[in-house]
Amino acid sequence: MEFEYWWLLTFPLFFSLGWMAARIDIKHVLSESRRLPASYFQGLNFLLNEQTDKAIEAFIEIAKADNETVELQFALGSLFRRRGEVERAIRMHQSLLERSDLEEEKKLTAMNELGQDYLKAGLLDRAEQVFSELQQTRYSSGALKYLLEIYVLEKDWLKAVEAAHRLGEISSRSYQVEIAHFFCELAASEIAHSDHAAARQHLDEALRVNRDSVRANILHGDIEVAEGRHDAAIQCWKRVETQNPAHLALVAERLLASHRTLDRFAEGMDLLRGYLARYGSLDMLNVIFQAVLETEGPQVAYQLARDELRRNPSMRGLDRLLEAQLMEAPAERRQDLQLVHNLIHQHSAGLALYRCENCGFRARQYFWHCPACGKWETYPPRRSEETEVLVKASMQDLM
Q: Is 359 annotated as a binding residue?
A: yes
Q: Is 236 annotated as a binding residue?
A: no
Residues 220/251, Cβ–Cβ less than 8 Å = no
Q: Is 85 helix (H, G, I), strand (E, B) or coil?
A: coil
Strand intervals (E) in 142-285: none
Residues 399/387, Cβ–Cβ less than 8 Å = no
From residue 35, how far is each of 39, 64, 72 by CA, in Å? 12, 16, 16
Q: Is 370 annotated as a binding residue?
A: yes
Phi, psi of 239 (to 5 degrees): -65, -15
Residues 151/163, Cβ–Cβ less than 8 Å = yes
Separation between Cα atoms, residue 77 and residue 90, nearest integer Å: 7
**Among residues 346, 308, 305, 348, which one has the least CA distance to residue 323?**
305
Which residues face 139 on adjacent strands?
Answer: none
Q: Is 184 annotated as a binding residue?
A: no
Separation between Cα atoms, residue 97 and residue 253, nearest integer Å: 57
The binding site comprises 356, 359, 370, 373
The binding site for Fe cation comprises 356, 359, 370, 373
